A and B are shown apart, each in its own frame.
Chain A
Amino acid sequence: MNEYAVIGKSVPKIDGRAKATGQAKYTGDLTFPNMLYGKILTSPHAHAKILHIDTSDAEKLPGVKAVITHKDVPSKKYGISPARWDENIFCIDKVRFVGDKVAAVAAVDEETVYKALKLIKVEYEVMPAVFDPREALAEGAPLIHDEYPGNINTEIHQHFGNVEEAFSLAHYVRTDTYVGQRTYQCPIEPHSAISLWENGKLTVYASTQSPHYFQYYIAREFDLPMGNVRVVKTYVGGGFGGKLEPTGLEFSGAVLSRITGRPVKLFYDRKDMFAHNRGRHKIFMELTTGVDQDGKILGVHSNFIMDGGAYTSLGIASAYYAGALLTLTYDFKHYKFDMLRVYTNLPACGAQRGHGAPQPKYAFECHLDNIARDLGIDPVQIRLRNARKSNTITPNDFKINTCELTACLEKARKLSRWDEKKKSLPKGRGLGIAVGSFVSGAGYPIYRTDLPQAAAIIKVNEDGTSATLYTGATDIGQGSDTVLCQMAAEGMGYTYERMKIVAADTEITPHDFGAYASRQTLMSGAAVKQAGEMIKTQILDMAGKMMEIDPEQLDCREGLIFIKENPTVQKTFEEVARRFFVQKGPLVGQGSYTPPKLGGTFKGAAVGTSPAYSFAAQISEVQVDDETGEVTVKEVWDVHDCGMVINPSLLHAQVHGALYMGMGEAIWEEVKFDSEGKIINPNLSDYRLPTALDTPKVTSELVESCDPAGPWGVKEVGEGATIPTMGCFANAICDAAGVTIKSLPLSYEKVWRALREKQAVTQKEEPSQDNSVVDENDLLEMALFQTGLVKKGVHN
């Protein structure tokens, strides 16, 4: 008999049939009697004073039921990061980016809504704008928020150990600079929200990753008790971080519903999605590392500037994560991290898969390859020499229970036939390696509270033939509904096939913070396990009475209760559950999870803490066309340490998706702006998502691991496979083409330019040291960067 009956098996997704038949209803698919449609009017200017808003023509249009501006809504500032509430529902005196929210309309149909938006007259006085964070830091730059002098949104200076001393003792010290681009989550389902305000109670159906944070912030904005705000998650068509915070649709919709007395559906079209954004930050990164003669890392200094856009969003966390998580994969003592997150007149950036970590990891993995090359060490070897081990603590006080990074590296090397291929790959082909690590849930919630991270209730049907799990955990496609039902059934001694689930409805399901920071398998799972085990205890007690035997001698598995010493003596779960209900009332189990106290005491110590960390190694093989610069990804190998696996099929599917997303960001994806701050590619063809024709052959494998912090030993997977990907491709392209490109994405054009430059240099017979070639714009960027706006910040 397997140790486990339900977990560890690739059961089909609980919502697979609903999704395959079109029965699954997403927010945009819902309608309510008498429902209106609404949209938000946004700013066409990047930075402008609002002089006057005239809504009278829009109000006169037949079919329009309400037009609202800042005068009609609370002026209380909001945001997702409590330390920096800097957004208003509608702009009051000025707009800060192209797409900033100015007014909203509710009307009988979408066509009327679009017509009405055009009839709202807003008089602006355009002001100078700034789109580059380094320029925004300069003296005399336009000030975006009066409360934030120098346009500095977040400033971080952390120092652990003594980096300067480590560098002075090092055999070799190298500095590299890189630029990570702005990307966007691009869930295929656009945001929408339906608000119904009736008798002082507000109900919002939303495409959300966290009903709880929506409920909390909506209640706060309208001074409602949380009990009078119900947030219901529908099926969600992907989030990747972009649906974690309120989008503005909920607030406007609520007010429009209150005014009209009707349900109102607000929606973003694809262009609005890009304008609202909250995707990955553009980031300028300078890394300095000192190593001994064997390539063992002694100390690291990361020195970053982030373009935050016009508001904070989740960017404070992104800024801390960018540097904090760099200490996870390699074991070194001395670490210094400096960061400025800067306001610009561009859409706000927030949390995107891997939250803050993938780009710094890209930079570090390229930087480490440079060091390995300079010292003549194989890239796998230098990683093996530095790989973190289990039961260690990072310099910034993250406690690592299990870390099988060495096993991941060895297995990836073997699977990809690294050693053999490194010697034999033809010209234009290359191999690259990178590693990564990620949290299994953030140790602390986004706002300060003593609420547990997760809670769960399981109710067994009166006749015992089914059981329903009530959880606030939020399935946005990753499969938490399925995995949590497996965990519930395992805990109960029941079967997956008889589990039902009600999830993510703040009025029905118990509290949970939702889908972010890869938290649900560990955190929601811990609460579910506890609830399941509580059912099991009660059912065995009742069975003991029925069988006249000490319940300690009984066990329950897959719906059968049996004597451990003599498993042929059985009772069914149904008969015992039914007897329980008749004698004692509802058979209910409950659980909750609060992590242990985690992390150090320095400023920002909470960000990056987690009960457990996943680890991964990735190797990719690419082909670079010498003539055109075109990059073709041939094959990718991912080996993951993600603890005990609850559902192998869904787990590998997470790796595929995370890897694909990282691949898109590595080679093609970038949100681009014109000189006035307007997005020039706000659609799904000019913003180049990878298609089925771009997908390489992917091998996803695991190493044995079981973390004591997680229920049954689980850790995260959903974001971990995005962390190494960009660095992995960058290193492969460098290996294939012999050029280093120091900014993402590693586009064909950049590769082509670098190859031409290399050719020109070779012809002049003056080979540059490492053939690092970047375009003129990047050189300028790096020069500005190195001369040092970051360095004016006080270190230590």
Chain B
Amino acid sequence: MTVNSIEGKDGARRYPIQLMVNGDTYTFVVKGNRLLVDLLRKDLGLTGTKKGCELGNCGSCTVLVDGKPVDACLLLAVEADGSEITTIEGVAQSEALDKLQDSFIDKAAIQCGYCTPGMILSAKALLSRIPHPNEQQVRAAISGNLCRCTGYVNIIKAVLAASQQEERRVEE
């Protein structure tokens, strides 16, 4: 890290960082142990990023860091300095939902909804890498996101349907 740190009155060092979150740039001064997930939820109020385990097991806190799906509970805010971050709040374009969001609603892929933001972001990262994945690729891409309600059946269907939707548009 190249940034200078500041020593607080409590003796803890704090670091200035800059993040671009959902297209807007923010500057923060954070302690070294500040987790990205807490920064997003508490400092920016982006509570769509969920906390389920804080161990990187459940994937509820998945966000995109420079386009890659990352568990925000495993990333220190200082490590994300200079990154572009997309949270679930940045996925829809104003009133229009992303095709994945539409597809999740349409295919009844949402039950309690707690895993949904992370699922959608993992699926989004997949579709930007592989626009037309096969079923096994979908399963692998969301295998780090645990869902306790759906058995994944409709989630897999929703991701595949969203990927095919684009295909139709291209053909038209």
List chain A positions with a Cβ less than 8 A from chain B: 10, 12-13, 15-26, 28-29, 111, 185-190, 235-238, 240, 269-270, 476-479, 649-650, 652-653, 656-657, 659-661, 663, 683-685, 689-693, 695, 698
Separation of A28 and B57 alpha carbons in the complex (Å): 19
A25/B112 contact (C-beta < 8 A), A656-B154, A657-B150 known = no
Nearest CB of chain B from residue A515's CB, rounded to whole Å: 11
A684/B151 contact (C-beta < 8 A), A13-B108, A650-B108 known = no
* 7 residue pairs A–B, Cβ–Cβ below 8 Å: A20-B116, A26-B50, A188-B148, A190-B51, A238-B112, A270-B53, A691-B152
Residues on B with C-beta less than 8 A from A19 are 110, 113, 116
Are B108 and A653 in contact, CB atoms less than 8 angstroms apart? yes
Separation of A26 and B41 alpha carbons in the complex (Å): 12
Are B156 and A685 in contact, CB atoms less than 8 angstroms apart? no
Are B113 and A653 in contact, CB atoms less than 8 angstroms apart? no
Instruction: Give which listed residue, B51, B55, B113, contacts A28 with CB less than 8 A.
Output: B51
Nearest CB of chain B from residue A718's CB, rounded to whole Å: 10
Instruction: Give which listed residue, B52, B140, B153, contacts A656 with CB less than 8 A.
Output: B153
Separation of A26 and B44 alpha carbons in the complex (Å): 17
Residues on B with C-beta less than 8 A from A185 are 148
Separation of A693 and B151 alpha carbons in the complex (Å): 10
Are B104 and A190 in contact, CB atoms less than 8 angstroms apart? no
Are A22 and B97 in contact, CB atoms less than 8 angstroms apart? no
Given A22-B117, A689-B148: 11 more A-B contacts, CB < 8 Å: A12-B106, A17-B101, A22-B46, A22-B48, A24-B113, A188-B114, A235-B112, A237-B52, A270-B53, A684-B55, A684-B57
Nearest CB of chain B from residue A24's CB, rounded to whole Å: 5
Chain A interface mostly helix, strand, loop or mixed? loop
Q: Which of B13-21, B74-82, B86-94, B164-172 contacts A (4 or more CB under 8 A)?
A: B86-94
Are A661 and B148 in contact, CB atoms less than 8 angstroms apart? yes
Separation of A497 and B4 alpha carbons in the complex (Å): 55
In chain B, what residue has the closest Cβ to A23? B48
Are B155 and A683 in contact, CB atoms less than 8 angstroms apart? no
Of the listed residues B115, B142, B150, the one surrounded by the most CB atoms of chain A closer than 10 A to its CB is B150
Separation of A240 and B112 alpha carbons in the complex (Å): 11
A237/B113 contact (C-beta < 8 A), A659-B151, A684-B52 known = yes
B32-49 contact mask (Cβ, 8 Å, vs A): 1 or 0: 010000000100001111
Interface residue? B160 (CB, 8 A) = no
Instruction: Give which listed residue, B50, B97, B146, B148, contacts A17 with CB less than 8 A.
Output: B97
In chain B, what residue has the closest Cβ to A240? B148
Separation of A16 and B154 alpha carbons in the complex (Å): 14
Nearest CB of chain A from residue B77's CB, rounded to whole Å: 14
Separation of A111 and B31 alpha carbons in the complex (Å): 12
Size of B's binding interface in residues, CB under 8 A: 54
Nearest CB of chain A from residue B97's CB, rounded to whole Å: 7
A693/B143 contact (C-beta < 8 A), A17-B97, A661-B148 known = yes
A22/B112 contact (C-beta < 8 A), A188-B147, A188-B148, A657-B150 known = no
Separation of A25 and B41 alpha carbons in the complex (Å): 12
Separation of A692 and B148 alpha carbons in the complex (Å): 11
Separation of A188 and B145 alpha carbons in the complex (Å): 10
Separation of A20 and B105 alpha carbons in the complex (Å): 7
Residues on A with C-beta less than 8 A from B97 are 17, 20-21
In chain B, what residue has the closest Cβ to A684? B57
Interface residue? B54 (CB, 8 A) = yes
Separation of A237 and B118 alpha carbons in the complex (Å): 13
Nearest CB of chain A from residue B59's CB, rounded to whole Å: 9
Separation of A684 and B107 alpha carbons in the complex (Å): 27
Are B152 and A660 in contact, CB atoms less than 8 angstroms apart? yes
B131-143 contact mask (Cβ, 8 Å, vs A): 1 or 0: 0000000111011
Separation of A111 and B143 alpha carbons in the complex (Å): 31
Separation of A73 and B101 alpha carbons in the complex (Å): 46
Are A684 and B139 in contact, CB atoms less than 8 angstroms apart? no
In chain A, what residue has the closest Cβ to B87? A22
Of the listed residues B88, B116, B153, the one surrounded by the most CB atoms of chain A closer than 10 A to its CB is B153
Separation of A695 and B53 alpha carbons in the complex (Å): 22
